[in-house]
Structure 1
């Protein structure tokens, strides 16, 4: 990795930690794309970063999660049973993986997830970075967006549901634990 990239990562992390609310979507995209190079192959961070790097995903952890979730939703609605929605990318786990990459790069700054403001800033930034990603999922129109508060993914038009349910504007599911769970 080029030293200029390491310096850019260091700068974004320092700004997140320092309370800078002027960070843009591009800052978070750059952070995630740059750490992708170092992130472990099977990590959430690598999968999330791939999702940001490529506008459309048809593989990976997030893709498998959403495909399974749509099957669960279809079964639950068809048989009138509850279903469990697990969080796709817990923000603390992502931050720990980012901190691991920072350590590998020799960057001493880290993201303090005990600080609620840092936690919220990171979650909102990651949500903005992912906002343009879509997933090609069989029998569903896929992931079409993230709610304005960044808390939920919205899945539209799941095929095979009864018409009174399939006409919903979408099914929103939590994807990233962020501001309110601590």
Structure 2
């Protein structure tokens, strides 16, 4: 049923009035001689009617040139929330990233949902052309310093000693006899 059909079918019901003789208490309180019997429904219908005349109601069903959209609009926001949750998840996994890096993570995640995603080379060219912080496709070269697993002074070893209390003991609760 269209909005116009609703207004035509229920016009007499929407225009029903209550008079002061029918409800003297409300008339005394408000000072009116009559009022609409269904004010909230009437107000809602009038708002919808006004928005439809202005072309603002159900505007998502047509393209900007007035033609019907080829695919129906989604009835829920679930598909959008699914994408948003992926962005939030990736940002959560990279909590220590700088704001610029977080923006890059969010953009990359959103880019993976596009219909024809561009190659990383094209993305980097656009990224650099837009004046954003420089990004490279290759990792930075590693330094030639040997990786040290222990950061102890030179005289210290890594072997446990009895003084540290790491050896097995005899007896109960540390008693030897």
The TM-score range, normalised by the shorter chain, is under 0.3
| TM-score, length basis structure 2 | 0.21
Larger fraction in strand:
1
Higher RCO (C-alpha under 8 Å, 6+ residues apart): 1
